[in-house]
């Protein structure tokens, strides 16, 4: 393991001595962990950044865009630019051959030891391009057997492909299911291409829905983990997604990921051009909350590009362009399985230690009677590692957690403009960041300047740097205790809730990076 990895894995700090001796108290977890599921299932999800919220702080994914064609049309997609949302000159969509994709995977894996999963999620539909998709999986599984394979599909071709998916040991399949009622479906899908024929309207939606649900049943019968993605389209399928949730749960889906519609007019999609709005952060959370029961809800999706590389929420694809990959000699690629394993072992040690600390803190909270206090929302600036490790001014997104005495639950992220550009604070950005975090009582950061701190505090958001470079979830549990005790002692005035927070789509890590509508 190199120095970069060592640094990346700095052990989380221990809580103060007062917490000792409480380890057998509460066992509440914040996200599904080994105690919550079958060991066989845990083994499949523990290193997958999309299937485990905990894993997404430590592990990365990459997408290889080997699948350009699609067999349906969604009203939220503009395929003119390979399903890209943007038509800005200069945006180049790079397709990969299976051979170049496998070479790129090796190059990325040798640079980014935390990359554990390769997904095919576009730029069209992975299963509408079966030869390219499965050839890519074949080459990757031979060259890099420790990497998990993942694919995303609209489900139309799925029932015909389940055998091949199982043959290639693909453990994770995402099916995008936006409706189970063709009356709703005809407002989302203008056409599909099936059995050498173009189908339209309600007939198209009926065929698509039947194929999606059949494919889901066939996958779960083979113990392949299925995540269902649904795009929340206010006024079209928002209420209906509760019925979708019930149907997919019945058929054994492992995880449901309800995502906001992206419909900026400049993306040129049908919804964008006809003024269909996306949901607010509050509407999305309300729907996710109402679907949360026995089924896990994914809330940390970043609606990635079809060529994304890196941790969720960052995108390092610009470091691995086709030109750079083509120039690499395969003999120069150091695919070091031992270093990759060492990284994973270290992460597991860190996660185990963090779990114990969270249990201790939750137990302490119960002891102090904090379990009756209402939840609070706290935003966090992080660059990964599960730590509060980013300066306020450098954050392009904030992670938002709902915190109680027992748990710190990730509920979403808020994309923002950089506050600090070229060493100077931007007032307009600060105003928009304050609005984006308006429902939070605090924002935890590694560092924050006096000016933004004052503005945030005037808006009722405490800027907290006392937990700099500490582990996020234990810090949130500790902060909950401080905040609640402060409210009880009259030192802190609780914040009134309300308002609507607009969800922003757009660049993840740099200007010009835009998400594709094909979403894993
Ligand atoms: Fe990619 Fe999708 Fe596999 Fe993840 S993404 S194919 S399951 S490896 Fe993840 Fe990206 Fe959300 Fe997809 S954050 S869009 S859910
Ligand atoms: Fe096809 Fe995906 Fe675009 Fe829908 S979003 S039209 S499934 S490529």
The answer to the question of residue 194 being in a domain is: yes
Q: For residues 251 and 365, state if they share a domain.
A: no
Angle CA 475–290–256, to nearest 5: 80
| Range name among 25-29, 36-40, 260-264 with the lowest pLDDT average | 25-29
- Is 74 close to ligand 2, i.e. is its CB under 6 Å away? yes
Which residues contact residue 459 at a Cβ distance below 8 angstroms, ignoring those fewer than 6 apart?
434, 438
State how far the alpha carbon of 313 is from the alpha carbons of 302, 414, 429, in Å. 6, 10, 19
The answer to the question of residue 4 being in a domain is: no
Q: For residues 392 and 446, state if they share a domain.
A: yes
CA of 123 to the centre of ligand 1 (A): 13
Q: For residues 324 and 359, state if they share a domain.
A: no
Q: Contact 496/459 with Cβ under 8 angstroms?
A: no
Nearest ligand 2 atom, CA 128 = 1
Most confident of 285-289, 357-361, 496-500: 285-289
pLDDT over threshold 60, residue 242: yes
Q: For residues 328 and 348, state if they share a domain.
A: no
Q: For residues 175 and 262, state if they share a domain.
A: yes
- Is 55 close to ligand 1, i.e. is its CB under 6 Å away? no
The answer to the question of residue 9 being in a domain is: no
- The whole-number pLDDT of residue 504 equals 62
The answer to the question of residue 214 being in a domain is: yes
Q: For residues 324 and 414, state if they share a domain.
A: no
CATH number, domain with residue 448: 3.30.420.130
CA of 510 to the centre of ligand 2 (A): 25
Region of 5 please: left (phi>0), alpha (psi -120 to 50) or beta. Answer: alpha
Residue with the nearest Cα to atom 8 of ligand 2?
124
**Confidence band (pLDDT; 50, 70, 90) for 27?**
very low
Residue with the nearest Cα to atom 11 of ligand 1?
301
Q: Give the percent of the chain with pLDDT over 90.
A: 56
- Is 72 close to ligand 2, i.e. is its CB under 6 Å away? yes
Q: For residues 232 and 94, state if they share a domain.
A: yes
Residue at which a domain ends, from 298, 332, 366: 332
Closest-CA residue to 244 (of 271, 212, 221, 220): 212
- Is 516 close to ligand 2, i.e. is its CB under 6 Å away? no
CA of 83 to the centre of ligand 2 (A): 7
Within 290-367, strands assigned E span 296-297, 309-310
Q: Which residue has the higher pLDDT, 149 or 20?
A: 149
- The whole-number pLDDT of residue 146 equals 92
Q: For residues 427 and 281, state if they share a domain.
A: no
Nearest ligand 2 atom, CA 123 = 8
Q: For residues 318 and 392, state if they share a domain.
A: no
Q: For residues 144 and 84, state if they share a domain.
A: yes
The tens digit of pLDDT for each residue in 281-331 reads 889 999 999 998 768 899 999 888 888 899 988 888 889 888 899 888 887
Q: Contact 420/391 with Cβ under 8 angstroms?
A: yes
Mean pLDDT of 140-166: 95
The answer to the question of residue 204 being in a domain is: yes
Q: Contact 152/122 with Cβ under 8 angstroms?
A: yes
State how far the alpha carbon of 28 is from the alpha carbons of 23, 451, 475, in Å. 12, 38, 16
CA of 519 to the centre of ligand 1 (A): 7
CA of 305 to the centre of ligand 1 (A): 9
List the domain range (segments joined by +) for residue 321: 37-332
Closest-CA residue to 169 (of 189, 154, 148, 194): 148
Closest-CA residue to 205 (of 215, 192, 214): 192
Q: Which helix (H) or strand (E) holds 488?
A: helix 472-488
* DSSP characters over 226-292: EEEEEEE-TTTTTTTHHHHHHHHHHTT-SEEEEEE----GGG--HHHHTTPPPPBHHHHHHHHHHH-
- The whole-number pLDDT of residue 92 equals 35
The answer to the question of residue 13 being in a domain is: no
- The whole-number pLDDT of residue 505 equals 57
Torsion from C-alpha of 86, 91, 93, 94, nearest 10 degrees: -160
The answer to the question of residue 379 being in a domain is: yes
DSSP state letter for 126: G
pLDDT over threshold 50, residue 209: yes
Nearest ligand 2 atom, CA 517 = 5
CA of 315 to the centre of ligand 1 (A): 13
| Range name among 7-16, 256-265, 449-458 with the lowest pLDDT average | 7-16
Cα separation, 50 vs 63, whole angstroms: 13
Q: Which helix (H) or strand (E) holds 7?
A: helix 3-8
Q: Is the pTM of this model over 0.75?
A: yes
**Confidence band (pLDDT; 50, 70, 90) for 393?**
very high
CA of 502 to the centre of ligand 1 (A): 23
Does a cis peptide bond (omega within 30 degrees of 0) precede residue 123? yes
Show the DSSP H helices in 368-471 as ranges. 427-436, 450-458
- Is 65 close to ligand 1, i.e. is its CB under 6 Å away? no
CA of 79 to the centre of ligand 2 (A): 8
**Confidence band (pLDDT; 50, 70, 90) for 32?**
low
Nearest ligand 2 atom, CA 154 = 7
Q: For residues 353 and 238, state if they share a domain.
A: no
Residue at which a domain ends, from 286, 301, 332: 332
Main-chain dihedrals φ then ψ at residue 395, nearest 5 degrees? -80, 130
**Confidence band (pLDDT; 50, 70, 90) for 51?**
very high
Counted domains in the chain:
2
Residue with the nearest Cα to atom 9 of ligand 1?
50
Q: Is the dihedral of CA 173, 225, 286, 310 positive or negative?
A: negative
Residue at which a domain ends, from 332, 360, 383: 332
The answer to the question of residue 299 being in a domain is: yes
CATH number, domain with residue 161: 3.20.20.70
Q: For residues 303 and 348, state if they share a domain.
A: no
**Confidence band (pLDDT; 50, 70, 90) for 136?**
very high
CA of 123 to the centre of ligand 2 (A): 8
Nearest ligand 1 atom, CA 519 = 14
- Is 67 close to ligand 1, i.e. is its CB under 6 Å away? no
Three-state SS letters, 32-92: CCHHHCCHHHHHHHCCCCCCCCCHHHCCEEEECCCECCCCEECCCCCHHHCCECCCCCCCC
- The whole-number pLDDT of residue 391 equals 95
- The whole-number pLDDT of residue 516 equals 34
């Amino acid at each position: 393991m190199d120095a970069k990895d060592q640094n990346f894995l700095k052990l989380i700090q221990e809580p103060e001595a007062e917490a000792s001796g409480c380890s057998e108290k509460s066992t509440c977890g914040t996200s599904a962990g080994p105690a919550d599921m079958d060991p066989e299932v845990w083994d499949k999800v523990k290193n997958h950044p999309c299937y485990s919220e905990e894993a997404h702080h430590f592990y990365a994914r990459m997408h290889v865009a080997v699948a350009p064609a699609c067999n349906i049309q969604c009203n939220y997609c503009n395929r003119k630019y390979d399903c890209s949302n943007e038509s800005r000159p200069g945006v180049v969509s790079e397709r990969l051959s299976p051979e170049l994709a496998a070479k790129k995977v090796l190059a990325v894996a040798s640079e980014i030891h935390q990359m554990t999963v390769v997904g095919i999620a576009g730029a069209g539909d992975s299963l509408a391009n079966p030869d390219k998709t499965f050839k890519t999986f074949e080459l990757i599984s031979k060259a890099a057997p420790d990497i998990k394979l993942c694919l995303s599909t609209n489900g139309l071709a799925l029932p015909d492909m389940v055998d091949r998916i199982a043959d290639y040991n693909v453990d994770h399949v995402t099916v995008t299911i936006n409706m189970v009622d063709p009356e709703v479906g005809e407002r989302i899908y203008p056409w599909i291409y099936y059995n050498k024929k173009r189908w339209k309207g309600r007939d198209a939606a009926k065929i698509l829905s039947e194929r999606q649900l059949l494919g889901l049943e066939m996958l779960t019968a083979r113990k392949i983990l299925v995540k269902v993605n649904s795009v929340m389209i206010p006024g079209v399928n928002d209420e209906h997604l509760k019925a979708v949730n019930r149907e997919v749960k019945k058929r054994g889906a492992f995880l449901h990921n309800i995502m906001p519609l992206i419909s900026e007019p400049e993306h040129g999609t049908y919804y964008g051009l006809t003024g269909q709005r996306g949901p607010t952060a509050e509407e999305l959370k309300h729907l996710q909350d109402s679907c949360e029961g026995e089924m896990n809800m994914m809330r940390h999706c970043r609606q990635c590009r079809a060529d994304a590389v890196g941790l969720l929420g960052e995108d390092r694809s610009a470091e691995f362009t086709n030109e750079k990959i083509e120039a690499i000699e395969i003999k120069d690629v150091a695919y070091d399985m031992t270093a990759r394993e060492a990284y994973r072992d270290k992460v597991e040690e860190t996660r185990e230690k963090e779990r114990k600390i969270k249990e201790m803190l939750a137990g302490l909270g119960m002891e102090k009677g904090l379990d009756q206090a209402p939840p609070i929302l706290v935003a966090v600036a992080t660059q990964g590692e599960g730590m509060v490790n980013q300066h306020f001014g450098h954050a392009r997104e904030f992670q938002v957690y709902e915190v109680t005495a027992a748990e710190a639950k990730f509920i979403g992220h808020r994309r923002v403009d950089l506050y600090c550009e070229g060493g100077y604070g931007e007032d307009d950005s600060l105003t928009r960041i304050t609005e984006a975090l308006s429902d939070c009582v605090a924002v935890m950061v590694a560092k924050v300047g006096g000016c933004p701190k004052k503005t945030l505090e005037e808006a009722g958001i405490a800027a907290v740097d006392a937990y700099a470079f500490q582990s996020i979830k234990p810090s949130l549990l500790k902060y909950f205790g401080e905040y609640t005790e402060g409210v009880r002692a009259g030192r802190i005035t609780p914040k009134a809730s309300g308002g609507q927070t607009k969800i922003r789509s757009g660049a993840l890590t740099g200007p010009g990076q835009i998400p594709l509508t094909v979403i894993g």
